[in-house]
Structure 1
């Protein structure tokens, strides 16, 4: 069984490795999006071939694992993410989970297809603070069809403690 310290060391090493490869934030072109499958597009971002995502820089989270149907983002909540009540704002939870579940759907799309989130349902289970350390949002596909993609996600800490869970429904469509 892995200890918390071992998990944290692994997570921090993965984060350092990924951060070293990411390009500066920016927005990819429609041509870049259409050039390959959803997984190929995401991999180009993760490899630093395409720009990293601006919202991830704003909230300081990054993708740390990804494969078709499963994507994991990691972030370390800090006081700059706090609400007036003294804990991490719900928008941080929602953005981290939306990124994980939507990218899980995106990872399953064939070339020439895009998506947009139609619905995101998030349940906040417990408060996050700057004392928690890094957390991970793992998104997993439930089903992706020709018009609809569905995925679920969870935010956990290094002990496996659940902080929030979500489901999404995405509209899948041909790119213009």
Structure 2
């Protein structure tokens, strides 16, 4: 981490990563962090045909990445600034297909359990009307490198 980032708060660091400076994933997947609280993170995403699989619907990996990002940021919002963590398990339930016409999606991740080394979280993907498209849970581990 460079010296200019050492003065950022945990929340500012997460926002810096996801709102432009640190993660090309948000640009690649047309998603962005829209809110961040203590143990909670919300993203919005815009599915398009570029994410379609051969069945002409959004590939499940798109929803999985969105769920994992929201849960991961929710976990990270509770960690100390120097902590490293990673997803060690991800469970995704696909409720209905996601299409370009689905429009803006919202994904909110929330911490369920926050232990010293292992944490769990859950997240839900909904459309502008609150209709559920996918939900999931994850297990995360703090590690030192």
Q: Do the two structures share a fold, i.e. TM-score over 0.5?
A: yes
2:61 aligned residue (91, 113, 119): 91
**For the residues of structure 1 that align with 2:114 and 2:3, how far apart are their CA atoms?**
23
Q: Which has the larger radius of gyration?
A: 1
Secondary structure, aligned partner of 2:73:
helix
Shift of 1:33: 7.6
Match of 1:53 among 1, 6, 23: 23
Structure 2 unaligned runs (5+)? Answer: none
Write the deviation string for residues 111-143 of structure 1: whole angstroms up to 9, x where unpaired. 321210000100000000011100011100111
Residue 163 of structure 1 deviates from its aligned partner by: 0.3
Distance 2:114 2:32 in 1: 24
| SS of equivalent residue, structure 1 residue 131 | helix
CA-atom RMSD in angstroms: 2.1
Number of aligned residue pairs: give it. 145
Gaps of 5+ in 1: 1-28
Of 62, 72, 77, the match for 1:107:
77
- The answer to whether the aligner puts 1:39 opposite 2:11 as a matched pair is yes
Return the TM-score normalized by structure 1.
0.75
